Structure 1
Amino acid sequence: MTDRVLLIEDDADIALGVHTMLSRNGFAVTTAGDGREGLRAFHGERPDLVILDVGLPEMDGWTVLERIRELSEVPVLMLTAHGQESDKVRGLRTGADDYVTKPFGNAEFVARVRALLRRAGSSEQPAEDVYDDGHVRVNFAAHEVLADGVPVELTATEYRLLVTLVRHRGQVLSAVRLLDLVWNDPVGIGPERVKYSVMRLRRKLGATSGADSPIEAVRGFGYRYRADRNRAAPLRQPKRIYRLGTMSGS
């Protein structure tokens, strides 16, 4: 299946160049010249990935990104002429998955697009529609997570982390491997980030400690999801509902 890319870029020359480059590499590309047009195309096309310029007319890229994140966790690659570290951090905290500064190399750009699609799993069908171990239930099609029957809303990164662990259940995944599978790492974040993300995910799933969570830390190696792990105490019901996009998820 051909991956569908939505390019929201107001510079006609850049839009033409990116469209041509991606089309030659086998992607189906739709373009939009401003933020409002881009959101209309997003709703109509349901793309697998969005390439989003920051400096858009009508509605800037930050606002477009926020609107997209209210509805979807589709991968978003920010494209901008601004190279300041603060802009990169803002984009990632708002929910972007990667950040490319103009000008950019064609080969690297295509590689980043492919990496985002690979991490999102958009190029392949999931092996199962629903995972349910009696405690955690993940509806992959609906992007819905329940813990002991209670809806738990996760950030995009937390959802990808849970899905990755669930789909590799029983396997030990190192922090470096999880960074590769779950995060796109443009600003050099380290494996320590995985530790804190796992801690947040455990809490959102209702665990009071690592001992009563199905996400097991294997000392010196990484993390493993074990649905059959003996828990020290019944898991508490999650007391808070987290809405997608309210945290950085990084």
Structure 2
Amino acid sequence: MTRLLVVEDDPDLALALRVLLARRGYEVSVAADGREGLRLLFAERPALMLLDLLLPGLDGWEVLDRTRDMSDLPVLVLSGLGDVDDRVRALRSGADDYLVKPFAHAELLARVEALLRRSGPRQWAGEPAGDDLLLVPERRAALWHGTEIRLSDIEYRLLQVLVRNRGRVVTTEQLLERVWDDTTAFGRDRVKFAVLRLRRKLRAAGGPSAHDPLEAVRGLGYRYESAPARTTGTSDRGANA
């Protein structure tokens, strides 16, 4: 059964969400504050989190930030904050969707189902991110073939975005927005040179026989690829970087 985590301090709404989601067949855990939410998140590793922002003690913004240091699980924000600035801030901070209170039950269920349908296998801090790569968020570092690589904040975010979209092309514009918060054409060289620096660090740590997971897709952007089976032929790797 798919487990969901609801982090909501309004007991009436929390109960209503538990009943609504349980009737749809989900297993539901509820936390009334941010600290309890993080404890349950780490202990139970749910498939999706529904998160209020205005929580007592540790607020939802901090919970969202710490969640993204631990996992890429889908996060649906449920909040009475309806301003565009709040929605944009939440989405840029790592939320996958945002629903303003009060909301229709049918819409909530549809958004939960859509997020679960689109999400792949969850990755958590302390677990391999693919191949011989392990992301270490608390140190902004990565382990590649057993060797720790110290990364700048930009390099870490760049690698994190590419890994979370493993096998899919992330365009240069998307990387500028998600890593640098910049969508200008002038910033395109930032991506190119950041990928070059990151690739050099991976090569230095992995040695000449290690697979290069960073693939440049001509005219589009970049992709993180798992080690391929041994085949013959040429690669487009390095075309843009």
TM-score by length of 2: 0.61
CA distance 1:84–1:158, shift in 2 (3 Å): farther
Cα offset, 1:7, TM superposition: 0.3
Moved more, 144-153 or 11-20: 144-153
1:13 maps onto 2:6 in alignment: no
The residue type equivalent to 2:236 in the other structure is R
Is residue 2:208 matched to residue 1:215?
Answer: no
Matches within 5 A, 1:123-138: 131-132=130-131, 137-138=132-133
For 1:21, the aligned partner's letter is L
The answer to whether residue 165 in structure 2 is matched with residue 164 in structure 1 is yes
1:202 and 2:195 are equivalent in the alignment: yes
Counterpart of 1:229 in structure 2 is 236
CA deviation map 1:170-200 (0-9, x unaligned): xxx596xxx8xxx9xxxxxx9x9xx899758
**Alignment: residue pair count:** 199
Alpha-carbon distance in structure 2 between the residues aligned to 1:58 and 1:225: 38
Range with greater deviation from structure 2 (75-84 or 54-63): 54-63
**TM-superposed deviation, 1:29:** 0.7
Pair 1:25–1:205, CA change in 2 (3 A)? farther
What are the Cα deviations for residues 65-91 of structure 1, in whole angstroms up to 9, with x where unaligned?
A: 233233333322211011001111221
1:75 matched to 2:82: no
Q: 1:216: Cα distance to partner?
A: 2.9
Q: 1:19 to 1:158 in 2, by over 3 A?
A: farther
2:54 is equivalent to residue 47 of structure 1: no
Native 8 Å contact 1:6 1:31 kept in 2: yes
Identity of aligned residues (%): 40
Amino acid in structure 2 at the alignment position of 1:205: L
Quote the residue 2:37 is aligned against. Answer: 38
Post-superposition shift, 1:28? 1.1
Query: Which has the bigger relative contact order, CA under 8 A and spacing at least 6?
Result: 1
For the Cα contact (< 8 Å) 1:174–1:222, is it kept in 2? yes
Give the structure with the higher percent helix: 2
Change (3 A) 1:15 1:131: closer
Unaligned runs of 5+ in 1: 124-128, 184-189, 236-250
The aligned residue for residue 96 of structure 1 is 95
CA distance in 2, matches of 1:72, 1:200: 27
Give the drift of 1:229. Answer: 3.4
Q: Which TM-score applies when normalising by structure 1?
A: 0.59
Q: What secondary structure is seen at the aligned counterpart in 1 of 2:165?
A: helix
Structure 1 partner of 2:26 = 27
Provide the residue aligned with 1:240 in structure 2.
Answer: none
- The answer to whether the 8 A contact 1:9-1:31 is kept is yes
Residue identity opposite 1:216 in structure 2: A
Quick one: structure 1 residues 131 and 39, their matched pair in 2 at CA, closer, same or farther if it must change by over 3 Å? closer
